[in-house]
Structure 1
């Protein structure tokens, strides 16, 4: 197995645009240093490529693969292969995936971490024979393709639920329906100041769910807390979590059992089905974000009385039961898909370093 410098395998350039060039409904992907891929109505590239963030405040450099028309931010590296007879895009992509921690550790800068050409030049790529490279990439790509399929299925299910919800409760809401505050249809349990609840002697404890974990998942660097806290602050897969401070969001938690940190609500109800309060929380999210942004503080947030002022239409018991026939199976499928995605991601993340190091070999035809 040979070892070659990354910059001997790829041509390296960058985008030319500012990050504010993104538009909401653009035709083409616009790659910046963010984990999120934005959109734009123009393109400067029409090729297969890897996109590597050139800077990040915390040194978490996003890496993506794309094939087609796109544009890129001026601090985003665009990597194209020097010789496709030597390696493949997907193999280099997965090889770099195993080096992101190394890139973080070696990155320069203080307030913002960034990658220099010398840092990238020092990255060495192990190259087994080309057929083995392709086989490794095929195994990992198959897992990623399944993950992508489930994620797109969930996007479709979410949009279907939102469309039905808007039709039922906004566009065709009945005048005789009761109105209740959002705070009355569910319990919004705030999390703990988890630094005050460390694992006890001899206890492994549970990971702490903060806004970062809600966005990116539990990692080895996540804080841990004792499991001996009130049950409402223990979060399980499928729970509805509402981030009410800083980055406001409403999400179905997909991950291991954990302890809820402050600035997050665990939303539950004994009276109404999960889909009902989940959709109402999502419906008011844009308004809540506007309220948070209007606060002249360093960290925008909403207050309990904002939940009290958000009014919810309550259908009759019979109507709600009829709605449940569609919405409960729909949400159950979303939650099941999230569990499958989590399982596949874990399998991929276990296999990735083992395949790249040669510890696990792929059987060739």
Structure 2
């Protein structure tokens, strides 16, 4: 590496540039409604009416989920399963957040049974830290990608709410186009539009079992691997063609996910097969009352799910619904693709910027809004 690129960098130990402290005891049952984020080792996990750490702040997973890094823009409560940066020693907070992403801290597990990070251990790790102006430039470059991703995520959320609102208006409140001319008739679900049917879920939907794929067997690639909590990894081959619906079977019972790309559902989920408009089925399943039938590990019994009532509108209305929602979902798909490209570029730049392989010293970058 060219020495001029590294001019002014400080070869030291982590504890000299970032001092960590263990988080504060609190359980989810002790949370009280409030405006302050609570950060667990797995991420943001609720709100509380009090905080322990002033923002901006950086938090890493200490116990359970190790080494995951989180940035808090508002005052927050770091739980006892985390370590938070008590002292940045005058360094840039956002740069510290990105820097810690490159350290692969999960490899320093010192727990015998439960994965654990020891702050004294990581404090002694050797690091090479750039001067503050360079920190700010690097943080500004990487933040630009994250800001674009966040903006796209906000747009995706709005589009999802639009689609959900359309479903609610047409199929829950029965205010679909031409509803004024449609007679309401009695059914086991109450009054429904004439021509609609109350079926059993099993009459219109098949909940097909996913296939086991252990973490060590996942080959990476472009194919999302779905568990009951959502995307849990990536693989080189798909099991189901897109678009598709995934339903949690073990763990997160009845959690419903949509995939607009080919995917691999593992054995803790079902995937949906149906001849009914897939968008309608997706929203209907989100409103079903799936019941946990397993006392030890939460589980969704397929026969119980099949016995649930399923309101089936007439084909003409579903045919009208399809293009409206399809347009929205296509926009969501495009935004997700943009985010994937932004994340790949950011992740490619991240280690090269943090290590000094890419020189930013002479770049004219506005760092005015980068903290510290």
Q: Shorter-chain TM-score: what band?
A: 0.7 to 0.9
Alignment of 1:182-331 (within 5 A): 182-194=201-213, 209-211=225-227, 214-218=230-234, 234-236=239-241, 238-248=243-253, 249-253=255-259, 257-269=262-274, 271-284=275-288, 287-288=289-290, 291-292=291-292, 294-296=293-295, 298-331=296-329
Counterpart position of 2:77: 71
Rg larger for = 2
When residues 192 and 74 of structure 1 are mapped into structure 2, their CA distance, relative to the original with a 3 A threshold, is closer
Deviations for 1:231-269, whole angstroms, at most 9, x for unmatched residues?
xx62356432222122232212377x5543323223243
| Alpha-carbon RMSD | 3.0
Counterpart position of 1:91: 95
The equivalent position to 1:18 in structure 2, one of 7, 26, 31, is 26
List gaps (5 residues or longer) in structure 1. Answer: 228-232
Counterpart position of 1:230: none
List gaps (5 residues or longer) in structure 2. Answer: 1-8, 175-190, 365-372
Deviations for 1:112-152, whole angstroms, at most 9, x for unmatched residues?
11111222212333222332222211111111111122222
Asked if the contact 1:242–1:266 (Cα under 8 Å) also holds between the matched residues in 2, the reply is yes
Deviations for 1:150-189, whole angstroms, at most 9, x for unmatched residues?
2222223223333332333233373422122333334433
The equivalent position to 2:41 in structure 1, one of 33, 38, 47, is 33
Structure 1 consecutive aligned stretches of length 4 or more whose deviation exceeds 6 Å? 203-208
Structure 1 counterpart SS, 2:54: strand
CA distance in 1, matches of 2:223, 2:305: 28
* TM-score under structure 1 length normalisation: 0.80
* TM-score under structure 2 length normalisation: 0.79
Structure 1 counterpart SS, 2:231: helix
CA distance in 2, matches of 1:208, 1:283: 25
Deviations for 1:320-352, whole angstroms, at most 9, x for unmatched residues?
233334322222222222222222222222221
CA distance in 2, matches of 1:160, 1:204: 33
- Quote how far apart the aligned CAs of 1:95 are: 0.8
Corresponding position: 1:364 with 2:363: yes
Q: Which has the higher helix share?
A: 1
Structure 2 counterpart SS, 1:277: helix
Asked if the contact 2:66–2:117 (Cα under 8 Å) also holds between the matched residues in 1, the reply is no
Structure 2 counterpart SS, 1:215: strand
- Quote how far apart the aligned CAs of 1:310 are: 2.1
Alignment of 1:1-12 (within 5 A): 1-12=9-20
Corresponding position: 1:158 with 2:160: yes
Q: Figure out how many residues of one structure are paired with residues of the other and give that number.
A: 335
Alignment of 1:37-56 (within 5 A): 37-56=45-64
When residues 149 and 123 of structure 1 are mapped into structure 2, their CA distance, relative to the original with a 3 A threshold, is farther
